[in-house]
Amino acid sequence: MSTSAAGRKAPDHRAVSTVESMTIKLSPGKLSEYRNLLEPQYRDHRDMTKRHAPIVPFPRDTGPVTPTQLKKLVLASGRIQLLLDEQTSSNDRAKRAQLVRSIAELLDEIGLAENLPIIRTLGTMLNAIFDRIYTGVHVNETKLSALRARFGRQTVLYLPSHRSYGDFILLSYVLFCYNIAIPGIAAGMDFYSMAGMGSALRNTGAFYMRRTYGNDRQYWYIFREYMRQLIVAYDRGVEFFVEGTRSRSNKALMPKIGLLSMALEPMFMGEVPDLLIVPVSVSYDRPVEEQLFVYELLGVPKPKETTRGLLKALAIVRENFGSIYLEFGDPLSAKDYFGDGLNRARHTVAPTFAQTLAKEERDAIQNLANDVVHLQQHRMVLTTFHLIALYYNYRKYHGRTVTLGELVDGVTLLGRMFTDLGAVTEMEECGNVERACLAALDVHRNILQLTSDRVLVIARSQHDFSRVDKRKLKGYNLTDGVMKLAVPIFSLQLYCNPCLHWLAMPSMVLLAGRFIAADGGNVQRAELFRLVRELRCLFALEFVLYERREMVEFEAALQHLERQGLLVACRGDAVTFAADTVGQTPANVYLSAIGPFLCTYLQATDVLLDQFRTKAQFTEKEYLAAVQQHVEQRLLRQERNVHPYCLSLDSISLALHSLVTLGAVRKSKSDNVYRYDLGTDGTIESTNARLRHYSALLPFEYLTFQDAVTGCKL
């Protein structure tokens, strides 16, 4: 692997003030700021019997509000009184009393509770589990100390990334260890329905929300008011996932603004002066749901969560899941963030409970949600195995083996490359890269293994696909042979995907540059930006890209590629790409990362044109099954431009919704079902042609993945 370009010593570009300045400031991250809670010197932190006198983020002059008082505040609120007046007459006291009881029952379903003995018991259980399955629970103490210094002036909103069921439990555990009050935590009804566990989590601060309200106006009023009281009256803060649900693909998801809008509404209405927004990044060396995610991406539904299933899983787990990294990011003042866009005067003409947010306010909240997800991604820690997976993926694209020595060199190179991009990686604190690689391979030996000759190979799949209930599949009924190929490749791809936050833009710049000038040379900056913008629009949902940041990130990608030696110059109106050389490594590392997604969108548009052009309308389920069947056939025929990850229902679905956003596919709703049909303006055809051209530019041997999976015969 050539290191001539990427291996040069360069200054630390992680604090890219001019390029990254937007509405947020991205501070550089440092692995040295993390401390491992599982080390002996932190035994007192983890002592669940210690005296509990937590720091409260926003103490109130009137004293703390209990969970019971919180419910009473909701019942007495103007919004709920308006609901009572609308649904009952003043003379019908019996009906009004019945409605009050109904509202109280819903509040019992929703409301959080606090029970210190239960918190201590669950914390003790977590201590035992963490000691058994993790080598480290690393917390950025520098950032946590900075956050504590901001306490006392406004309500705190903790907004963590969501990659595992354990995210909010982990956050509560860390806060307890550092003597900070556990906030109110929005949880889904999946937990509520788990016998015993739903009640236990409620007693540690969880409040429950239904995923859909439908036309249940009463529930909507009650939950919205409960959230308002958490912001206005509760002193411990509030926590929820701005992405809405777990990411099965290990990439970020487009944020949802429902809960965030409810939380910010009191500030827009002038009921609270400010809110402190805290993005929280949680990075897993190996998520415990790893194989469940792989199955879900292929269309196998997740099993129903039960307390019995959870306890059984915990009892049998003896594997090493590596490390977890948790960082409380730089807090944002919501008041400062919105600036002049915060116009409270407009909401003084009527009672706040009778008003809703204006469109421009909702748009501003969407921008904040986008920035929060960007901040979360910016501070995720890339572990050694993320780099191993990415390097192995690149080598297999070229049909090459990977020895341990080559792996060490490759991971070292990637560590420098990601540091230049601004990422935090385990390489920063790595004294011995070979030892770190061997330790990472031990954690992930279910995916990659070293042979006796010290050559890296994909582990044989041990899954019994005959036990899958074919009737419940979300997509196509794939053959066992294709499943045996796909599962190991999907498992590997899960660890490449977090790198796409950093690699997507440089990859698109390189791809667009090759499209314009295949042999290198000068490219007009405006034309390059136009093509990169097209790619960004197409993959905006896939890689969570925002229009407001397109020029900032384009310039950052150009500067990075120039430092890597892949651009000779990017001054003025022209951009000069370095000519391809034999065995060139860095450019193909970027392109190998985006390759599976190009292939997926190409196959998806092929199916839309071949199978749905003449069809009046189709459902998403029909489309998902058709694309998976189409991809399986091409894998069996060993055609080009098809990759096992093209079977991912997540990416296949995102491709459809991206095409809807672009106007290539039309979306409508009838009989409570969304239906789709192809547009007639030629957008879908031109998108398909462009994807085919881009795919042809990638110098990869896709079929080598079939030989890479031990024992896989198609």
Residue 5 and residue 586 in contact, taking contact as beta carbons nearer than 8 Å: yes
pTM: 0.92
Calculate what percentage of the chain has a pLDDT beyond 90: 70
Query: 3-class DSSP state for residue 97?
Result: helix
Query: Bridge-partner residues for 207, per DSSP?
Result: 186
Cβ contacts of residue 486 below 8 Å, gap of 6+?
298, 478, 644, 645, 647
Per-residue pLDDT, 649: 98
Per-residue pLDDT, 240: 97
Cβ contacts of residue 620 below 8 Å, gap of 6+?
653, 656, 674, 676
Per-residue pLDDT, 353: 82
Rounded to 5°, the CA angle 627-713-297 comes to 35
Q: Hunting for tokens 């919180």 — which residue is that?
A: 70
Per-residue pLDDT, 8: 39
Per-residue pLDDT, 17: 36
Interior/surface letters 401-436, b for 16+ CB within 10 angstroms, e for the rest: ebebebbbbbbbbbbbbbbbbbbbbbbeebeebeeb
Per-residue pLDDT, 3: 40
Residue 238 phi/psi, 5-degree rounding, is -135, 145
Residue 250 CA: distances (Å) to CA of 272, 286, 326, 430, 448: 36, 10, 16, 24, 18
Residue 89 and residue 167 in contact, taking contact as beta carbons nearer than 8 Å: no
Per-residue pLDDT, 5: 39
> Domain ranges in the chain?
1-26+381-714, 30-286+321-378
Per-residue pLDDT, 599: 95
Whole-number Å distance between alpha carbons of 432 and 351: 63
What residues in the chain have per-residue pLDDT under 70? 1-25, 193, 195, 214, 303-316, 464-466, 518-521, 570, 580-585, 701-714
Q: Hunting for tokens 């290191």 — which residue is that?
A: 3
Cβ contacts of residue 195 below 8 Å, gap of 6+?
306, 307, 308
Whole-number Å distance between alpha carbons of 639 and 518: 24
One of 2.40.50, 3.30.70, 3.30.40, 3.40.1130 is the CATH number of 30-286+321-378, namely: 3.40.1130
Burial group, residue 562, by CB count within 10 angstroms (0-12, 13-18, 19+): middle
